[in-house]
Amino acid sequence: MLECGFTVDDFGIKYFCKDDLDYLLDTLHKYYKISVDMDRKNYCGLSIYWNYPKRFVDISMPGFTGKTRERLQYKKPSKPQHAPHKWNKPAYGQKTQLVPINTNPLLSKEEMKYVQKCVGALLYYARAVDPCILPAINKISGQQAKPTEQTMEACTMLLDYVATYPDAIIRYHASDMVLHVDSDVAYLVLPNARSCYAGHFFLGDTPPLPPAKPSSKPNGTILTNCKTIRGIMASAAETETGGMFGNAQDAIVVRIALLALGHKQPATPIKTDNSTCNSFVHSNIHQRRSKTWDMHWTWLRHQATQEILRIYWDKGVNNDGDYFTKYHPPTHHKVQRPRYVLQAHNIITSDIPNP
């Protein structure tokens, strides 16, 4: 059976029969002017490098960050920047925690457009190959309607980071094409008492049957959520459940796409490091204030009962969603970044096939 793909006006096609491909191309040639990439090396601005002997594929956007900086008339920093955003060193033992108030003046209309261009360009890059900058982009995008000097400083720091790590690469290894999700949240970390949640979606091997915990080798992310929870959560446990709800809804959509492509899916394993959230989904706790939770989050119980989703608890250190919910120091970014993306200068030359 022949399985291949090509690009026609930003479309990738999966086929199994050469006759089907010829029929489709003949039909398209009658009505459209098209180009076909049978080597599957380019797709929607992405460069694709296949390595069949070692069973992996690399996705990158070489030169994109350099062109973005040039378009924004931004110069490379004199010193490397190892963190995409600022972070506050935790002060343990404080009884009172004060919320910082942004009193900086608003930017001009030209500067506001600059911030919006920066967010728009880097968001596509982040979604495609470098999810490590998503927390910074999420925070800046929440301020781009009324940006201040502090927002501009955040953009500058983000561009410094991108200039330090210019060509990210995501590597996907061959697997059973089973969806796995790591879900995590950060409680009350955004202005106006808002929280954020993150989800690390990747394809791995078929998980073992319950009660064993699912485990799969780390693989490149196919989707990374880093979003603000619009409602005000009453507790950290409710925030964890709200983040689980958002990630679970996206997991259903990805499941449908994988099933349509012919990849059978067991109950999708979703990892959480919050025991209260896990106990709520499996009906192992008695609720005292249940109205809010019942209105919003009981859907998770239904999905678990129907064995569409498989929600389970694991330690926070094993949760890959944690990286995208918090503002970490540069030392942490330097350690964790290779877990999610590769850099062009770190790729072994023999791993990249000849063009």
pTM attached to this predicted model: 0.87
94 by DSSP, 3-state: which?
coil
Does the pLDDT of residue 349 top 50, yes or no?
no
pLDDT on residue 212: 87
Token readout for 23 is: 């029929």
Residue 101 makes CB contacts below 8 A (sequence gap 6+) with none
pLDDT, tens digit, 9 for 90 and up, residues 234-254: 888 889 999 999 999 999 999
The predicted model gives 163-170 an average pLDDT of 93
Residue 150 makes CB contacts below 8 A (sequence gap 6+) with 102, 104, 143
Does the pLDDT of residue 177 top 90, yes or no?
yes
The predicted model gives 344-351 an average pLDDT of 51
Residue type, 245: F
pLDDT, tens digit, 9 for 90 and up, residues 273-298: 999 899 888 888 776 655 656 666 78
Higher pLDDT: 95 or 126? It is: 126
Please, what's the b/e burial string for 209-247 (b: 16 or more CB within 10 A of its CB; e: otherwise)? eeeeebebeebbbebbbbbbbeeebeebbbbbbbbbbbb
At residue 21's C-alpha, the angle toward residues 259 and 355, to 5°, is 90
The predicted model gives 120-138 an average pLDDT of 94
Closest C-alpha among 47, 49, 37 to residue 13: 37
Does the pLDDT of residue 3 top 50, yes or no?
no
Token readout for 153 is: 């400083």
Mean pLDDT, the chain, rounded, equals 86
Closest C-alpha among 285, 173, 309, 305 to residue 237: 285
Higher pLDDT: 10 or 232? It is: 232
d(CA 75, CA 225): 30
